[in-house]
Amino acid sequence: MIMLSNSKRLRLRGGRKREVQRGVIHIQASFNNTIITITDMQGQVILWSSAGSCGFKGTRKSTPFAAQAAAENMIRALMDRGMKQAEVMMSGPGPGRDTALRAIRRSGLILSFVRDVTPMPHNGCRPPIKRRV
């Protein structure tokens, strides 16, 4: 940390990697991409990976194989940080949600629970006004 003259704190980026024992894995599977984010228990982002960041472009981003590659890429970096236990929050209807979860299960990480947090509308948006012809 660097203290500036007007008493504002400035954090240096990079530096030492945070060692985290427990965390939350958020899997956001849309129809176009699968984004996997790791946060600590307070919700601060530690790592993230997506099918697009793994080199998949266009329609190949939305495949289950791309989601699996994103999960494996993220898990490799996660094991270096020393995480042992995690919770999984899945949201979205995309094709990569199951394969990403399978890749996380195979990694040897202890999963305390897996929860589907996809937002479900109770009654939906207000419909448009009917046309009068």
Question: What are the boundaries of each domain within the chain?
Answer: 36-117
CA distances from 35 to 9, 24, 28, 128 (A): 31, 14, 5, 32
pLDDT score recorded for residue 3: 52
Angstrom distance (rounded) from CA 46 to CA 131 = 50
DSSP conformational letter for 129: P
Contact 97, 67 (CB under 8 A): yes
1 pLDDT more than 70: no
pLDDT score recorded for residue 57: 92
Number of H helices, E strands in the chain: 2, 7
78 pLDDT more than 50: yes
Rounded to an integer, the average pLDDT of 11-37 is 81
Angstrom distance (rounded) from CA 101 to CA 121 = 25
Contact 31, 50 (CB under 8 A): no
Rounded to an integer, the average pLDDT of 61-77 is 91
Of the options 3.40.50.150, 3.20.20.110, 3.40.50.20, 3.30.420.80, the CATH number for the domain spanning 36-117: 3.30.420.80
Its pTM stands at 0.78
